[in-house]
Structure 1
Amino acid sequence: MILRVVQRLSRDWFLVGMILAVVLAALFPDFGRSGGPMHADVVANVGIFAVFFLHGFGLSAERMKAGVTRWRLHLLVQSFTFGVFPLLWLLLDTLGGRWIPSDLSLGFLYLCAVPSTISSSVAMTGIARGNVAGAIFNASLSSLLGIVLTPLIVSVLSTTTGQSLSLVDAVLKLAVLLLLPLVLGQVMRPLVGRWFARYQRYTHAFDRLVILLLVYASFCDSVAAGSFTRYGGGVLAISLVGAALILAVVLVLTTTASRWARFEKEDEIAAVFCGSKKTLASGVPMARLLFGAHPGLGLIVLPLMFYHQLQLIVCSVLAERYASRPQ
């Protein structure tokens, strides 16, 4: 198992890119900070619009329709994504929030509020021989619901961290830079869908490069504000342990709930992978829009970055175990 994890990490250029982005932000924070020579706000908005425009191309309405009938599966997955996760944060924040920096606490809240991820949820479900159509529907529905529910959850619960978020402004920003390009991509899909399918691996690489750019800009603001020198390396340990704890609890709960509901094994697999995943691809752009030039933005996205890598490693092992069951 350890060997598989090491092999996976060695092939993951995106993980290397995230580490490099953080290192560059620590060395050259003034270049990428808000108001710096890179003009991070403008570059970020253009990149976010382009990424979600491409996501609109890739969102297949036909494949979503194929998975619409399993309403119990959908109810369970969305309840975990936007209900159980925030409740879990409330519990953990009540128990240990007083010892965690406020920006990092807000980061854990944000982790628990973002939608599920589409690509890896569907990929893991396919590897595990689960309900792929149901996974596509739930992951896509989660992304759409997140445009409203993510800022709503953060706005309602962030008062406990001593910070606030304007719900109306947040939803308007997400609608303009996330929903609008998604709709435009769907409208143009019949015209350029075949071209997109042919070059999808390049658009996927562009998607990840934009995320790395946003990670760099976010950490530049935090480094320039002195957030990491103020708290030291302890924030990394807290982020890693907290993300691992949340992932472990949610995996147990999704599996238990699926079996309690007597789902077929294929639906259980879709519920476990879709209900436990959180999106970095949409989460980092959304954080940039919701929190803007917040000096602690690097700390806010840090738990999500750790959670992203942990969920890929753990869920890839789970997918192989599910796939090894008898036909």
Structure 2
Amino acid sequence: MLRKFLPDQFVLLLFGTLVLAWLLPVPLNAVPLAQSISFAGIFFLFFLHGLRLPRHEVARAMMGWQLQGIMLAFTFILMPLLGLGVSTIAAQFLPAALASGLLYAAILPSTVQSAVSYATLGKGNIAASVIGSALSNLSGIFATPLLFALLLGSASGVVIGSDIVIKIITMLLLPFVLGQAVQSWLGQWAARQKKLLTICDRGVILLAVYVAFGAAVSSGSLEVISIASLALLVLFAAVFLGIAFAAAWFAGGILDLPRSDRISLLFTGAHKSIAIGAPMAALLFSPKIAGLMILPTILYHQLQLIASVPLAKRLASTQGDSD
């Protein structure tokens, strides 16, 4: 019965990581070392992304234009605008960092695995979901920091200077390019080691979340979070997710997309990637606020996994019905 509401064990792992970071936070004097280990893991994570994503899918993602353009516009234009509205209202009730974290979640790229999985379950356009989520992640390496600078930079006090740009290129783009470069030699090995590399993927993400959240606990930044504010944050994240799903579905209808394409837009457009969000937060924010900024993304990610299973099944069961 529980698995109906927690369809992916990663939800529990993320929650357990937050609890561990709360109970056993990173000591302040160990934060620099922990960040260095986390950065090394982030480099490896994006190397794996480059190694496992077939070049022909990257090429197809770069060449697609109509549906892919709609997906990108929804992810990096409409979602940030929706997030700006939600975070502005949330700022009246939540600490500033948590409200800003909702907007940070809105400017992240789509997931890859879950967007494709739920589009498949809902009988969507699988090829479009694969290419769209891949292109979203590639674009997000640059689009997310730019959107952050445009929408959040001055308000948060974080400036996207040359040091941040160098970090992003070194920690995200360079390892991805290296992974693509050695794919001819290691690609088949990576395909055979899918389960092991998935564990490595998730381990790095959990490490980044632990370091960010644990450092925030040690610095005292999380003292602004009360039970009431946490409950409100969950509510705002749930409302934002509902708005995102509704906007994606109706946008597909307004654009007169085929039903399968609407389903792909629904999941690719509304889903947000913790795999990009956690590493990117480690690069953009200081340890003092990174944990606060990433918390809304973690909650949104958990909610999207929980909500997507019944939604995808509903879409699949009503395939023959009129939209």
TM-score with structure 1 setting the length: 0.91
| Deviation readout 1:35-63 (Å, 9 max, x if unpaired) | 41782111011100111111111112223
2:315 matched to 1:322? Answer: yes
Shift of 1:320: 1.4
Residue 71 of structure 1: aligned partner: 65
How far is 1:168 from its partner? 3.5
1:310 aligns with 2:303: yes
Query: In the alignment, which residue of structure 2 is the partner of 1:235?
Result: 229
Residues 1:247 and 2:241 are matched in the alignment: yes
Please identify, of 314-323 and 254-263, the stretch whose mean Cα deviation from structure 2 is larger: 314-323
Amino acid at match of 2:261: D
What is the RMSD of the two structures over their aligned residues, measured on CA atoms?
Answer: 2.1
Which whole-Å CA distance do the structure 2 matches of 1:45 and 1:34 have between them?
Answer: 17
Bigger shift: residues 268-277 or 61-70:
61-70
Indicate the residue corresponding to 2:155 in structure 1. 161
2: CA distance, partners of 1:170 / 1:195:
33
Q: Is the 8 A contact 1:108 1:304 kept in 2?
A: yes
Corresponding position of 2:13? 17
Which runs of structure 2 are paired with 1:23-34 in the superposition (5 Å)? 23-29=19-25, 32-33=26-27
1:61 aligns with 2:55: yes
| Alignment-mate amino acid for residue 163 of structure 1 | G
Q: What letter matches 1:21 in structure 2?
A: T
Unpaired runs of 5+ residues, structure 1, are none
Once residues 37 and 230 of structure 1 are traced to their aligned partners in structure 2, the CA distance between those partners, rounded to angstroms, is 21
Q: Which amino acid aligns with 2:237?
A: A
Separation in structure 2 between the aligned mates of residue 69 and residue 264 of structure 1, nearest angstrom: 21
Distance in 2 (CA, whole Å) between partners of 1:130 and 1:70 is 17
Per mean C-alpha deviation after superposition, the further-off stretch among 262-271 and 94-103 is: 94-103
1:75-117: CA deviation from partner (whole Å, max 9, x where unpaired): 2211111111211122223334233211112211210111111
CA drift at 1:18: 1.9
Instruction: State the AA in 1 paired with 2:258.
Output: E
The residue matched to 1:99 in structure 2 has which SS?
Answer: coil
d(CA) in 1 for partners of 2:278, 2:137:
13
Alignment of 1:77-116 (within 5 A): 77-116=71-110
Q: Which runs of 5+ in 2 are unaligned?
A: none
1:205 CA displacement: 0.9
* Residues 312 and 110 (structure 1), Cα distance of their counterparts in 2 relative to 1, 3 Å cut: same
**Which residue does the alignment assign to 1:170?**
164
Query: CA contact under 8 A between 1:211 and 1:285: conserved in structure 2?
Result: yes
The residue type equivalent to 2:114 in the other structure is: S
Residue number in structure 2 paired with 1:208: 202
Return the TM-score normalized by structure 2.
0.92
2:182 pairs with 1:188 = yes
Selected match of 1:298 from 275, 279, 291: 291
CA–CA distance in 1 between the matches of 2:148 and 2:31?
31
- What is the aligned residue count? 320
Superposition deviation, residue 70 in structure 1 = 5.6
